[in-house]
Amino acid sequence: MKLCFSSDFFIEEADEWREGCWDFIRRRKDCIFVTTTKRPERIASCVPSDWGDGWDHVHISISIENQEMADIRLGHFLAAPVKHREVFCSPLIAPISLGKYLDTGLIRCVNVGGEMAPKNEVRPIEYEWVKNLYLEAKERNIEFYFHQCGSMFLKDGINIGKWNLNDQIRRAEEVQHELETVFR
C-alpha cells in the first residue's frame, strides 16, 4: 500500500494524524507499506516508539532530483532508523552520482524517472544520466528501475520522450532492457 501517494507522510501537517496511521500499519503486517519523502530529517522524530530500526513491512524511499538534494537528503536518510530504503531520482533534472551512498550497503534499490510536464515547462532528463546511475547500481549489485522517461528524454541530443504516461513507461522499459543487454 502506498502512503500519501500525492503528498509526504513526514510533512508537518501530518503530525496530528500520523500516530493513527502508524497504529493501522502496526496491525496490518500482512501488507507492505511504501512511502516516499523529501523530508528525511523528520523520519526519526515521526516514527512510533516501538519502531526500533524499522518494521519489516514498511519501506521508505527518498526523492531526489539533483546532486545538491542528494547530498542534503541522503545523509539524513541513511542516518534515520529505516529497515528498507530505496532512492527515487525522480524527476531526475540533472546528473547525480550516488556511489558513496550506495557503498554504505543501506540502499536496496534505485528508481529513476523523468518529468511529465508541458513542452515549454518540462525539464529534460538525459540518457547518459540514467546510464550512469544504472552502472553505479549494477556495480554494487543494487536493483535499478527506470520507470518513466518523461516528456523530454534526450538520447544522442534527440528527444525520445513522450507526453502520454503509458508511452513514457513503455519507452522507459525499452531503455531499461537496453541497459541490461548492453551492460551485462
Helix (H, G, I), strand (E, B) or coil at 164: coil
pLDDT of residue 57: 97
The model carries a pTM of 0.90
- The predicted-structure confidence for 102-120, as pLDDT tens digits, reads as follows 999 999 999 999 998 888 8
Separation in Å, CA 55 to CA 8, 32, 48, 59? 19, 10, 10, 8
Cα distances (Å, whole numbers) of residue 82 to 37, 42, 61, 76, 164: 12, 12, 9, 11, 35
Give pLDDT, residue 163.
79
Domain ranges of the chain: 12-182
Question: How far is the C-alpha of 146 from the C-alpha of 169, rounded, in Å?
Answer: 9
Tell me, what's the pLDDT at 120?
84
**Cα–Cα distances in angstroms (integers) from residue 59 to residues 62, 122, 138, 155, in the given order:** 10, 29, 21, 32
Q: pLDDT at position 117, please?
A: 84
Cis peptide leading into 48, omega within 30 of 0? Answer: no
pLDDT at 2: 52
Give the count of beta carbons closer than 10 Å to the beta carbon of residue 23. Answer: 11
Cα–Cα–Cα angle for 85, 169, 71, rounded to 5 degrees: 35
Report CA-CA distances (Å) from 62 to 55, 111, 167, 177: 17, 10, 25, 25
| pLDDT value, residue 7 | 75
Per-residue pLDDT of the chain (184 residues; tens, 9 = 90+): 555 556 789 999 999 999 999 999 999 999 999 999 999 999 999 999 999 999 999 999 999 999 999 999 999 999 999 999 999 999 999 999 999 999 999 999 999 999 988 888 899 999 999 999 999 999 999 999 999 999 999 999 999 887 788 888 899 999 999 999 999 8
Digit-coded pLDDT (tens) for 62-82? 999 999 999 999 999 999 999
pLDDT recorded at residue 3 = 58
Q: Are 183 and 136 in contact (CB under 8 A)?
A: no
